[in-house]
């Protein structure tokens, strides 16, 4: 049996300035530790063949499969607000693209596959811990219905990477609808290469926004499309308590998927100012700052597109501002509608926003667990005697007062208690990838070569909305001594 990837590459057919041709660097002793079989099938790949030795060698970058055209993509980016004119794939190689079962073009990328011309000082490698973290969180996001890159496989390389200590090396096979970032446009904008910007924009419209290709002003429409998808994406993040952690423009996807899981985390107790990333000292990427930062990143994208808008700079700027102006409303509409659903409202009334804000304020003040408060509120909607929502509050009286108003409000709607509970349980997950669980999984893998905890966590998170009584403990917040206060980039 040979591994067959039905590659149909389009990015590597773009001009040479878009990438560097570079093969993955072979590794010593690849071992497949996880294959995402359903995703393999979705991509038209044979999971049984991928699980053979030959499959593992491909997923580790030891062998390049037929039809691949491996490249490292060029991009620039603002990192924590500072512009870097050249970043690029420094530890990743795009093998190629396949058309999946739904007709969607998907990139297949090896992350941690060795140095590229964009590596600068790094070794081009990834450590096992961050690879497992990305696998777990990206697949959990997918199960939550949030646009995201996916994880097809994780392989250990049989080599060590040197970070603060020597750690087992690993390669993640990442699948994305593309790896084109805001920073990809910035790479050409800083070089004043308007032809390349136009080529890239045309590629993006055809690939990600085909519905806009006939638009009268396709580049304006493209900016509007990215604004809409990013506004929706960030609203979805907030609604599940997700903190990306490093929303640099090079980690901001043009397709509107969540990309580059580094020091990301889901919060336990609700705290709008929550930051986990060890390198985010100023809280630039704190939970509640994410919408503002998304708009900041989109403004950087708009700047790149100005030459395509009009030769008249002033006119182009005014048009871009107009398009960016839609962000706030698109975001708040999605966010408020999501919150109304989270508290079980079927209709919209004056006073709803205040009711929701008062709950969030009380949660913040009382260190209520974000995930469990909403899930248990669903229980309370079905059965007024259920009091686990109130138990999330340090001062349960703060909840009682709010719950009285909530019951009054829900009583204005005709839906039954059971209907309301079902609607709430369909949007409020019980299982999220909690930090302390991820850490425990990584410790078992790195220290004991034990992947059973990883498998179990991935399995539970695949059904985040379903009560899974055998795994009830996975819903629990950390005990004080289990709390993870910081996360690290450290791939």
* 139 is an interface residue for ligand AMP by CB under 6 A: no
Binding mask 99-118 for ligand AMP (x = CB under 6 A): -------------------x
The answer to whether 110 and 95 have CB atoms below 8 angstroms apart is yes
Q: Which residue is nearest to Mg ion (CB)?
A: 260
Nearer to ligand AMP, 80 or 357 (CB): 80
Write phi, then psi, for 202 (nearest 5 degrees): -65, -40
* Helix pair angle (370-382, 396-410), 10° resolution: 50
Which residues bind to Mg ion, rule: CB under 5 A?
251, 260
Q: Which does 44 bind (CB under 5 to 8 A by kind): ligand AMP, Mg ion, none?
A: none
Give the binding range for ligand AMP (CB under 6 A) out of 22-30, 119-127, 137-145, 452-460: 119-127
Count of residues near ligand AMP by CB under 6 A? 17
Q: How far is the CB of 252 from ligand AMP (least distance, A)?
A: 10
Binder of ligand AMP out of 97, 100, 257, 260 (CB under 6 A):
260
Q: How far is the CB of 45 from ligand AMP (least distance, A)?
A: 25
Nearer to ligand AMP, 159 or 352 (CB): 159
Binding mask 47-86 for ligand AMP (x = CB under 6 A): ----------------------------------------
Of residues 340, 370, 331, the one with CA closest to residue 234: 331
* 280 is an interface residue for ligand AMP by CB under 6 A: no
Binder of ligand AMP out of 225, 262, 307, 378 (CB under 6 A):
262
What residue has token string 């063949």? 49
Nearer to ligand AMP, 61 or 344 (CB): 61
271-to-238, 263, 370 alpha-carbon distances in Å = 11, 17, 9
Nearer to ligand AMP, 88 or 344 (CB): 88
Q: How far is the CB of 257 from Mg ion (least distance, A)?
A: 13
329-to-114, 220, 235, 305, 354 alpha-carbon distances in Å = 43, 18, 11, 22, 17
Q: How far is the CB of 434 from Mg ion (least distance, A)?
A: 24
Q: Per the structure block, which two tokens stand in for 315?
A: 């006119």
Give the binding range for ligand AMP (CB under 6 A) out of 120-128, 352-360, 420-428, 456-464: 120-128
DSSP per position, 242-280: EE-S---GGG-BTTS-B---SS-EE-SB--TT---BTT-
Of residues 467, 457, 463, the one with CA closest to residue 437: 457
Annotation says 202 is catalytic = no
* 257 is an interface residue for ligand AMP by CB under 6 A: no
Q: How far is the CB of 209 from Mg ion (least distance, A)?
A: 23
Q: Which does 244 bind (CB under 5 to 8 A by kind): Mg ion, ligand AMP, none?
A: none
Determine the Cα–Cα distance for residues 357 and 363; give it in Å rounded to an integer: 10
Q: Per the structure block, which two tokens stand in for 404?
A: 């009285």
Catalytic residue among 100, 107, 250, 268: 250
Q: Which does 262 bind (CB under 5 to 8 A by kind): Mg ion, ligand AMP, none?
A: ligand AMP
Q: Which residue is nearest to ligand AMP (CB)?
A: 122
The three-class DSSP label of residue 169 is strand
* Helix pair angle (128-143, 452-461), 10° resolution: 20
Nearer to Mg ion, 45 or 73 (CB): 73
Binder of ligand AMP out of 43, 73, 87, 131 (CB under 6 A):
87
- Own/partner pairs, 329-337, CB within 8 angstroms, 24+ separation: 330/227, 330/228, 330/231, 330/232, 331/231, 331/232, 331/234, 331/235, 331/291, 331/294, 334/231, 334/232, 334/235, 334/236, 335/235, 335/238, 335/239, 335/291
Nearer to Mg ion, 90 or 338 (CB): 90
Determine the Cα–Cα distance for residues 42 and 47; give it in Å rounded to an integer: 10
Nearer to ligand AMP, 118 or 402 (CB): 118
Give the binding range for ligand AMP (CB under 6 A) out of 17-25, 89-97, 164-172, 377-385: 89-97
Determine the Cα–Cα distance for residues 36 and 135; give it in Å rounded to an integer: 10
Buried b (16+ CB within 10 A) or exposed e, 457-491: bbebbeebeeeeeebeebbebbeeeeebeebbebb
Determine the Cα–Cα distance for residues 388 and 428; give it in Å rounded to an integer: 15
Q: How far is the CB of 237 from ligand AMP (least distance, A)?
A: 17
Q: How far is the CB of 476 from Mg ion (least distance, A)?
A: 32
The answer to whether 273 and 365 have CB atoms below 8 angstroms apart is no
* 251 is an interface residue for ligand AMP by CB under 6 A: yes
* 89 is an interface residue for ligand AMP by CB under 6 A: yes
What residue has token string 């949030």? 146
Nearer to Mg ion, 113 or 392 (CB): 113
Binder of ligand AMP out of 65, 70, 124, 245 (CB under 6 A):
124
* 307 is an interface residue for ligand AMP by CB under 6 A: no
* 174 is an interface residue for ligand AMP by CB under 6 A: no
Residues composing the chain = 491
Nearer to Mg ion, 184 or 421 (CB): 184
Tell me which residues touch ligand AMP (CB under 6 A).
Answer: 87-91, 118-119, 122-125, 250-251, 260, 262, 489, 491
- Please list the active-site residues: 250
């Amino acid at each position: 049996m040979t591994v067959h990837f039905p590659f149909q590459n389009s990015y590597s057919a773009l001009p040479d300035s878009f990438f560097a041709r570079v093969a993955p660097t072979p590794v010593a002793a690849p071992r497949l530790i996880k294959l995402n079989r359903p995703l393999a099938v979705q991509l038209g790949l044979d999971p049984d063949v991928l699980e053979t030795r030959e499959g593992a060698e491909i997923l580790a970058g030891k062998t390049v499969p037929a039809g691949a055209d491996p490249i490292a993509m060029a991009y620039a980016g603002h990192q924590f607000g500072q512009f870097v004119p050249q970043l690029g794939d420094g530890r990743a190689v795009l093998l190629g693209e396949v058309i999946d079962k739904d007709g969607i073009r998907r990139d297949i990328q090896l992350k941690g596959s060795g140095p590229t011309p964009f590596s600068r000082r790094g070794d081009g490698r990834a450590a096992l811990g961050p690879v497992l973290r990305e696998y777990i969180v990206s697949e959990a996001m997918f199960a939550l219905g949030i646009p995201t890159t996916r994880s097809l496989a994780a392989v250990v390389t049989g080599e060590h990477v040197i970070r603060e200590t020597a750690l087992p090396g690993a390669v993640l096979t990442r699948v994305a609808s593309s790896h084109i970032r805001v920073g990809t446009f910035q790479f050409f904008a800083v070089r004043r290469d308007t032809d390349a910007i136009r080529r890239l924009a045309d590629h993006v419209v055809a690939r990600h926004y085909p519905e806009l290709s006939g638009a009268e002003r396709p580049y304006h429409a493209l900016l509007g499309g990215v604004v809409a998808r990013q506004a929706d994406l960030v609203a979805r993040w907030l609604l599940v308590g997700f903190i990306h952690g490093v929303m640099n423009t090079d980690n901001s996807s043009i397709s509107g998927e969540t990309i580059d899981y580094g020091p990301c985390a889901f919060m336990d107790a609700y705290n709008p100012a929550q930051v986990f990333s060890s390198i985010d000292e100023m809280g630039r990427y704190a939970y509640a700052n994410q919408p503002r930062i998304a708009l900041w990143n989109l403004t950087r994208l708009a700047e790149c597109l100005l030459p395509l808008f009009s030769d008249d700079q002033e006119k182009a700027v005014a048009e871009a501002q107009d398009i960016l102006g839609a962000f706030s409303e698109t975001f708040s509409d999605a966010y408020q509608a999501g919150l109304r659903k989270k508290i079980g409202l079927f209709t919209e009334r004056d006073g709803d926003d205040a009711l929701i804000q008062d709950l969030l304020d009380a949660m913040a003040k009382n260190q209520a667990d974000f995930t469990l408060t909403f899930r248990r509120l669903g229980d309370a909607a079905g059965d007024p005697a259920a009091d686990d929502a109130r138990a999330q509050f340090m001062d349960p009286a703060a909840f009682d007062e709010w719950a009285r108003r909530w019951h009054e409000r829900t009583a204005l709607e005709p839906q039954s208690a059971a209907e309301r509970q079902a609607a709430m349980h369909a949007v409020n997950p019980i299982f999220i990838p909690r930090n302390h669980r991820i850490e425990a999984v990584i410790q078992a893998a790195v220290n004991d070569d034990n992947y059973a905890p990883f498998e179990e966590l991935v399995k539970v998170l695949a059904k985040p909305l379903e009560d899974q009584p055998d795994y009830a403990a996975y819903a629990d917040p950390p005990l004080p001594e289990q709390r993870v206060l910081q996360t690290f980039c450290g791939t």
